[in-house]
Every structure is written in structure tokens, then in C-alpha cells.
Structure 1
């Protein structure tokens, strides 16, 4: 275990694992490489659009969406120095400016055609940068 992992708040445990599982699954199943960059969220948004376009029922992709939302949250954490927060079974990212972001819910919104993980990351990164 690295020093970075040891100092992560306990709220990060589940979403970090969900994100890593999504990265591994997509690398092996869809041959899609995700590198925790903001640019990679373009591919994630397009992939979610494709799943929605196929008419896939939500229950069939619920776990995948949770993993992709956690992945987007990890991108925000790495870009801004944010932390994962948890409560009542939900997980959010808190950026250094004190704002809470819900990338897992945003992934669900992407699936309904009313969200974008790329834009969420852009907004969270810009908000955090404007406060420094």
C-alpha cells in the first residue's frame, strides 16, 4: 500500500474500488483505456450515450454507471485535491472550495440523457481553481 492510499479518508474506500473495477472491466471487455484524465471523460460520456441508445434497461447497467461515476469522481479528486465524503450510503466529492459534487448521480443523469461527467469535472475543476 502506498502512502497516498494510507492517508485517503475511509469514505474513499468504496468509490476508489468501484472506479478501479470500472477501469479494469472496460480495459478487458471494451478495450477502452481510462487514465484518470479529464479528457478520458469524453469517452465515458460517449460510452454512456451508446448504452442508452441501445435501449439497455437501467437495472442492467446500474453497477456500471456507479463505477463510471466513481471514476469521474476520482478524476476530480486527482485534479483538484478533493476528498470523498460519504453518508447514508451515498458518496460525494468535496473540492477544496467546500463544494460537494455527486459524480455517481451524474452518471445516472448521463444515462437519462440529462448529464455529463466531462462537464461535471470541468465545473468542479474550474470552481476549485477559482478559489485558490
Structure 2
């Protein structure tokens, strides 16, 4: 698999990208990344750890992208979203090539949201809160 530095995956590759990322980070650590809404607190914690470690944005870029792919996959599995390739206007607006489309048609940028958490920190950038406040979620929860 390519690294983020070499090539950004398209929407059709994001599920496998997220799964490979989870396999990599949980192989060494007992992180509860189980695609549950509660696991988004773990993502908040991990991003905060990167920030507190004094990392600049370039060094953890692949990790941040992997965490964003994971957050997007939680939206796919739990909120009824689907991965989409952004069009040129969306890429310019979000600064990312891929995101998710919710059942109501709204598009969201989970990779960008992880980058926001890294850069700004604080409870207002919580990924778990992002999910809980998210408009357009499906009423049911998918397994």
C-alpha cells in the first residue's frame, strides 16, 4: 500500500485504507479502535497526544490522514455515510480530495476535521462531539 506522501487514496479505497491503518496502530498497542462512536474519544486522545508531543503538521501527516480515514469509516458504518471523491470546488473548499456524503446529501470532511483537532485542539474540535452533533445521520446504526 502506498503511503499518504506518495498518493492519496480515492473514495473507493478509503475503507481498506482505514482498516490497514487500524491494523497497524493496534498491532503494537491495545487501542480500542472498533469503529464505535465511543472510540472517537480515543481519536481525540491520540490527536491531542500528537499535539502535546510538539509535532509539526508534516511529521504526523500520515497518522493524521489515517485517523481521518478512521473517523470517516465510523461515519460510514454508524451514520449511513458513503465515501465520495470531492469535485474540484469541494477539494478547494475542504482542502482534501475525499470525504463522506450523509444520507441527507450533505458532505463532510473527516480528514480535515482531524487536522483541525490537531491544529486547534480543545473541546470544540472534539471528533466524538462532531459525530454527535452531525446533521444528516441515518436513524439506524449499521454494524
Question: Paired residues, what number?
Answer: 119
Of 34-43 and 114-123, the range deviating more from structure 2: 114-123
Match of 1:94 among 77, 91, 101: 101
| Matched residue, 2:12 | 13
Query: What corresponds to 1:108 in structure 2?
Result: 115
Cα distance in 1 between the residues matched to 2:120 and 2:29: 22
Q: How does 1:36-115 map to 2 (within 5 A)?
A: 36-87=35-86, 90-114=97-121, 115=125
What is the TM-score when the length of structure 2 is the normalising length? 0.74
Matched, 1:118 2:128: yes
Secondary structure at 1:20 match in 2: helix
| Residue ranges of structure 1 left out of the alignment (5+ in a row) | 1-10
Distance 1:84 1:32 in 2: 24
TM normalised by structure 1 equals: 0.80
* Superposed CA offset, 1:44-92 (max 9, x none): 1011101100101211111111111111111011112211110356111
Q: 1:59 aligns to what SS in structure 2?
A: coil
Q: C-alpha separation between the residues in 2 aligned to 1:61 and 1:81? A: 29
Point out 4+ residue stretches in structure 1 off by more than 3 angstroms. none
Segments of structure 2 that go 5 or more residues without pairing to the other structure are 1-9, 89-95
Structure with the largest fraction of helix = 1
Aligned counterparts of 2:13 and 2:62: Cα–Cα separation in 1: 13
Q: What is the CA–CA distance in structure 2 between the aligned matches of 1:57 and 1:30, rounded to whole Å?
A: 23
The corresponding residue for 2:137 is 128
